[in-house]
Amino acid sequence: MTKIHVNISEARRVRKDVILLRESIQRILRQVNTSTNSLFYGSPSSWQSDSANEFQTLYQESVSEISGILEPLNDIAAKLDEAIEEAERVDRRLSR
């Protein structure tokens, strides 16, 4: 037998936490990217050398990995939302 338990208020708080986490990471990335973009894509760029290219590659790899987390966090929040809505529907039905 499948047993599902949802603490709706607690689930809402978790969902909000996930969304805040996502927004916070996105904001931090946006800020740091603004700074590093002006470093490399200014005219002329502030830092040009082999080591600058290496840095740029490694930096972009890291930022890309972190950015890759944003969409899954969105999905998790959406699934929590669905679970909360479903729990509320069941709760309303049982309350009648």
Partner 1 sequence: MTVIRMETGNVYEAVRKIEYAVSELEFKPRRMRGTAGDLKSAWRGSQASKLASELKQHAEVLGGEVANLSLLAQRMRNEINEWESKDHLGAQSIKNQITAHVVAPGDGGAKTGDSSHAPIHYSRVITNLDVIREGGEYIHGISHFGHVGSGFGNVPILAWIAPVLNIIGGWALYKEWTAEDMEHYQTDRERQAAIIVDALMAALVTAIRLAASATSIILSVLGTFSAGITAIIGLGLWFAAEKIATAVEEWFRQPSNRDMLVEYVMGQMDNPEFVAGLNTAMTTIGPL
Chain contacts with partner 1 (rule: CB under 8 A): 2-7, 10-11, 13-14, 17-18, 21, 24-25, 28-29, 31-32, 35-36, 38-39, 42, 44-52, 55, 58-59, 61-63, 65-66, 68-69, 72-73, 76, 79-80, 83
**DSSP letter, residue 45:** -
Residue closer to partner 1, measured from CB, 30 or 93: 30
| Contact residues for 6 (Cβ-Cβ < 8 A; gap 6+) | 83, 84, 86, 87
Residue closer to partner 1, measured from CB, 17 or 91: 17
Distance in Å, CB of 67 to partner 1, minimum: 10
Is the separation of the CB atoms in 6 and 14 below 8 Å?
A: no
Cis peptide before 72 (omega within 30 of 0): no
